[in-house]
Amino acid sequence: MRTDRCNSTKYQPGMKKAQNPLYPIFLKLHQLNMLIVGAGVVGHEKLSFILKSSPDARITVVAKEVSEKIRQELLKYPEHKVRIIQKPFEPTDISGHDLIIAATDIKELNQQIHQEAKKHLKLINVADTPDLCDFYLGSIVTRGDLKVAVSTNGKSPTLAKRFRQLLESILPEEANDLLSNLHLIRNQLEVGFTQKVKKLNALTATLVTDKEKIRQLPACEECPYKSN
């Protein structure tokens, strides 16, 4: 009798739920050197995604052919720090770079890039090959200094995109004003760390249920929570 594989893996009460083990970090890409190998459809997708979030990223693109889309993308960022080298990939290209992205449409070449990256102890992302990735490029929502990244552990970029869109619809543009005000309040509080955390928690407690509170938070020319 045929076994229903879906039912065999269905979550049951008491079963331990799987948890995404990835640890999110936010990189200062203007202080690192990134290499993208490939400048076609996939290379353009990776480059545009990175520049949208980090327009000052230091990136070298190596590829035999460079798509017009990539050249047009760079026109959006007049002060970009992207260097394009039009040539075939060579193992020596890995040297001097901290992060590697293999974004060609040739599986064997991507595997070669991965091997060279690991040989030199570099972190690498191989497009559409989660098993060969040290890191993923998650979906990102940005509101000024507020940045939220979403990961599905490489299982569904589509869901990550939809969840990003949901967050974009929820987070008002005024979120960055809130962040700036809270920063000023935090700097003006003349109390110890524990009391500072308590006061800021009390101040922001209703924000999770009422978006309008973001717009109502007072400006901080004179901090109302400054101790006497």
**17 vs 33, residue with greater confidence:** 33
Q: pLDDT, tens digit, for every residue of 145-165?
A: 999 999 998 888 889 999 999
What's the confidence (pLDDT) of residue 124? 98
Mean pLDDT of 156-182: 87
Highest average pLDDT, of 40-44, 202-206, 208-212, 216-220, comes from: 40-44
The answer to whether 132 and 126 are in contact (CB under 8 A) is yes
Return d(Cα 21, Cα 73) in angstroms, integer: 34
What global pTM score does this model have?
Answer: 0.78
Would the pLDDT of 218 be above 90?
Answer: no
Q: Which of 61-75, 96-110, 193-207 has the lowest mean pLDDT?
A: 193-207
Q: pLDDT, tens digit, for every residue of 128-145?
A: 999 999 999 989 999 999
Strand ranges (E), 105-183: 123-126, 139-143, 146-150
Q: Measuring CA to CA, which residue among 72, 35, 67 is closest to residue 50?
A: 35
Would the pLDDT of 114 be above 60?
Answer: yes
Percent share of the chain, pLDDT over 90:
61
Instruction: List domains and CATH numbers for the chain.
Output: 33-137 (3.40.50.720), 138-171 (3.30.160), 175-216 (no CATH)
What's the confidence (pLDDT) of residue 177? 83
Highest average pLDDT, of 24-38, 146-160, 165-179, 211-225, comes from: 24-38
Q: Which of 58-62, 187-191, 209-213 has the lowest mean pLDDT?
A: 209-213
Q: Measuring CA to CA, which residue among 144, 174, 150 is closest to residue 162?
A: 150
Percent share of the chain, pLDDT over 70:
83
Return d(Cα 22, Cα 18) in angstroms, integer: 12
Mean pLDDT for the chain overall: 85
What's the confidence (pLDDT) of residue 6? 36
What's the confidence (pLDDT) of residue 98? 98
Terminal CA-CA length for the chain: 77
